[in-house]
Amino acid sequence: MRVTALGHAGLKVETARGTFLVDPWFSPEGAFQGSWFQYPDNSHLLTPSLLHPSAILISHEHLDHVDPWFLAQVPASVPVIVPRYPSPVLRRKIESAGPSPIVEASPWERVEIAEGATVFFVSEESPMNHDSAMVIQYDGRCLLNLNDARLSPVQFRGIKQKAGGRIDLFAFQGAGASWYPMSYRYPEDRKRELSHRKRLAKLAYVASSIKLLDPVAALPFAGPPCFLDPELFCHNEQMEDGIFPDQLQVAGWLADRSIENTVVLLPGDGWDMEARAKDGDPTWADFSLADRWPYLEAYAERRRPQVDAVLARYPEPKDSLWEAFRDYFDRLLAMSPYFNRMIGMRVGFDVTGPGGGRWSVDFRPGSEGVVQGNGECGYRYRFESRWLPPILRGEVPWEDFFLSIRFEAERHPDLYNDHLLGLLKFAEKEALDAVESFETSMSFEERITVHAEGRSYSVARYCPHAGNDLQDTGEVLPGRVLRCLAHHYEFSLDTGRCLNGTGLSLDVEPAAAPSPSRS
Ligand code: FES
């Protein structure tokens, strides 16, 4: 089996029985309203022969993974194979490109994609996160493509066992895919510190995954993106020491921690799993990831017409958006009393420019409502009115808009509200019901003992966020804090209170017996 990097999270997987494209992203307009672009530029790979694969495999619904522009170039007979999610968002994005046959696979279900070649997907445990790893096997070789997913140690062990005990290539995301903290109103030095912490948290997760899986080779990919709109160009700074390290930086960080088996592939570079050898695309002979600024400036100049074309598709509204905004959120408020309760706050919107206004949505039970004015809000979003109409029409999901980083946010207190983002990103009863059913059926009866600063605590074994086993993913921090490495929620061991998120608390009490334990 041979793997060629297609840029970002894109891979071409070649076997004797077929060629498969994984998360191909080539749109010349990038993704997320002309915000994200492939880094470095992968357009030289867009040749006619690339457009005739045996199948396309897509991991999840983010537009840097599902690219309707690319799918529209491929013959309608090419099947698109995806994980089954409790929301039609991914399916709709694929369908917007044309009538390809879509095969939805349930988690862990092995699907034959060519004679002797199979794939199975493993999704994050909570349906709040639509991210999946995919495992492609052929002729005794195994590619585990984690992309943006955060799987638990239990899932990793299950994958390795199902794959026959050996991972030949482990492809993982080394850079985050987020708007935090760039879009938040923090003082610059605080923002830098948060970016750095987020970078390290991601790298720590990656290192622990590699140690657990012990693959033959590990491939950092699926980022970083770059930002070519002059208004967003400053976010390329995140590559320096923020949430978007490049592949060489990731490999270097891992090497410093004795993980030496990484391979860095630029778009067009190949990796032969049998020979364990890389062959380089000559395009990059004089290119250096470290010397990014001249490259990015020239790239931004080349993409300026595409960025301008995207902006022109979002004209300023002529009429007030208030009624459409109110009707949209009235509909959302009626969708899930569970989500309203979990959000439990008033959320403000400053929609600037023609047709905009200051409005708020109160999710607190008993005071649900959409009103003009936005004082005393727990969260506040501020953005230009030109972006709102396609969101209200359901054409642009909120999460895609947030990933564009074309907005500003603040929150008081400074806590992440997972259910607010969940409601906005799904805006679909079926998906919200799946989350409610998952969260309300989690069991916290099993307990472990955690030691911190001379004290012992009896703690619910499974994390209240998405049920990861804290025996595997719990990390004790100074100040008697337990951090779950899955999504980095932190809990006070003295009170159980979540220190960086709303609506969560850890069941904790003073312990008598210390076994089994974390310390
Ligand atoms: S499972 Fe998400 S933070 Fe623990």
For residues 345 and 297, state if they share a domain: no
- Alpha carbon 509 to chain centroid, angstroms: 34
Alpha helices in 263-411 (DSSP H): 292-312, 322-333, 337-343, 388-392, 398-403
What's the CA gap between 226 and 35, in Å, rounded?
Answer: 8
Which residues lie across from 347 on neighbouring strands? 361, 379
- How is the beta sheet containing 55-57 ordered, strand by strand? 102-105, 80-83, 55-57, 18-22, 10-15, 2-7, 270-272, 277-279
For residues 429 and 479, state if they share a domain: no
Distances in Å between the Cα of 148 and the Cα atoms of 38, 173, 390, 485, 516 are 16, 6, 26, 15, 31
Mean pLDDT, range 346-354, rounded to an integer:
98
- Reported as a single tens digit per residue, the pLDDT across 251-294 is 999 999 999 999 999 999 999 999 999 999 999 999 999 999 99
Write the residue with the smallest CA distance to atom 3 of ligand 1. Answer: 487
What's the CA gap between 512 and 515, in Å, rounded?
Answer: 10
Residue 316 domain-assigned (yes or no): no
Give the CA dihedral 238, 239, 243, 249, nearest 10 degrees: -160
* pLDDT confidence bin for 487, thresholds 50/70/90: confident
For residues 47 and 175, state if they share a domain: yes
| Residue 327: Cβ within 10 Å count | 12
C-alpha 372 to ligand 1 mean position (Å): 36
Give SS3 for 168.
Answer: coil
Q: Is the CB of 183 under 6 A from ligand 1?
A: no
Q: Examine the pLDDT at 512 and tell me if it is beyond 60.
A: yes
Residue 371 domain-assigned (yes or no): yes
C-alpha 202 to ligand 1 mean position (Å): 14
For residues 356 and 379, state if they share a domain: yes
Write the residue with the smallest CA distance to atom 2 of ligand 1. Answer: 487
Q: Return the ligand 1 atom nearest residue 463 CA.
A: 4
Range of the domain at 161: 2-305
- Tokens standing for residue 285: 């002979």
- Reported as a single tens digit per residue, the pLDDT across 289-342 is 999 999 999 999 999 999 999 999 999 999 999 999 999 999 999 999 999 999
Q: Name the percent of the chain in helix, strand, coil, to the closest 5.
A: 30, 25, 45
Give SS3 for 243.
Answer: coil
- Reported as a single tens digit per residue, the pLDDT across 142-163 is 999 999 999 999 999 999 999 9
Q: Is the CB of 489 under 6 A from ligand 1?
A: yes
- Reported as a single tens digit per residue, the pLDDT across 76-121 is 999 999 999 998 999 999 999 998 899 999 999 999 999 999 999 9
Write the single-letter amino acid at 304: R
**Which residue among 388, 415, 436 closes a domain?**
436
Q: Is the CB of 484 under 6 A from ligand 1?
A: yes
Q: Are 263 and 219 in contact (CB under 8 A)?
A: yes
Domain containing 475 — which CATH number? 2.102.10.10
Q: What is the pTM of this model?
A: 0.94
Q: Is the CB of 463 under 6 A from ligand 1?
A: yes
Instruction: List Cβ neighbours of 188 (8 Å cut-off, separation of 6 or more).
Output: none
Give first-to-last CA distance, the chain, whole Å. Answer: 42
C-alpha 243 to ligand 1 mean position (Å): 19
Percent of the chain with pLDDT over 90: 92
Confidence (pLDDT) at 184? 96
Write the single-letter amino acid at 131: D
Q: Is the CB of 487 under 6 A from ligand 1?
A: yes
Give the CA dihedral 23, 27, 31, 34, nearest 10 degrees: 170
Q: Is the CB of 483 under 6 A from ligand 1?
A: no
C-alpha 470 to ligand 1 mean position (Å): 9
Percent of the chain with pLDDT over 70: 99
> What value does the mean pLDDT of the chain take?
95
- Tokens standing for residue 333: 């408020």
Instruction: List Cβ neighbours of 314 (8 Å cut-off, separation of 6 or more).
Output: 33, 386, 387, 390
Residue 344 domain-assigned (yes or no): yes
Q: Return the ligand 1 atom nearest residue 125 CA.
A: 1
For residues 394 and 329, state if they share a domain: yes
Of 150, 438, 484, the one to substitute when testing ligand 1's pocket (max ligand atoms within 8 A of C-beta) is 484
Confidence (pLDDT) at 513? 53
Q: Return the ligand 1 atom nearest residue 470 CA.
A: 4
* pLDDT confidence bin for 503, thresholds 50/70/90: confident
Give SS3 for 46.
Answer: coil
- Reported as a single tens digit per residue, the pLDDT across 117-132 is 999 999 999 999 999 9
C-alpha 196 to ligand 1 mean position (Å): 20
As for how many domains the chain has, the answer is: 3
For residues 294 and 353, state if they share a domain: no
Q: Examine the pLDDT at 361 and tell me if it is beyond 90.
A: yes
Q: Are 118 and 111 in contact (CB under 8 A)?
A: yes
**Eight-state DSSP code of residue 262:** B
What's the CA gap between 201 and 216, in Å, rounded?
Answer: 24
C-alpha 465 to ligand 1 mean position (Å): 5
Q: Return the ligand 1 atom nearest residue 126 CA.
A: 1
For residues 427 and 280, state if they share a domain: no
- Tokens standing for residue 40: 């470095």
What's the CA gap between 425 and 343, in Å, rounded?
Answer: 14
Q: Return the ligand 1 atom nearest residue 487 CA.
A: 3
C-alpha 150 to ligand 1 mean position (Å): 10
Closest CA to 18 of 111, 96, 148: 111
**Which residue among 305, 335, 363 closes a domain?**
305
Residue 312 domain-assigned (yes or no): no
For residues 373 and 467, state if they share a domain: no
Antiparallel, parallel or unpaired: β 357-362 and 346-352: antiparallel
For residues 104 and 207, state if they share a domain: yes
Of 415, 487, 490, 502, the one to substitute when testing ligand 1's pocket (max ligand atoms within 8 A of C-beta) is 487
Quickly list DSSP for 466-481: T--BHHHHEEEETTTE
Closest CA to 139 of 22, 21, 15: 15
Q: Is the CB of 482 under 6 A from ligand 1?
A: no
Residue 448 domain-assigned (yes or no): yes
Domain containing 6 — which CATH number? 3.60.15.10
**Eight-state DSSP code of residue 87:** S
Confidence (pLDDT) at 103? 97
Mean pLDDT, range 56-65, rounded to an integer:
98
C-alpha 489 to ligand 1 mean position (Å): 6
- Alpha carbon 356 to chain centroid, angstroms: 30
C-alpha 88 to ligand 1 mean position (Å): 25
Q: Examine the pLDDT at 514 and tell me if it is beyond 70.
A: no
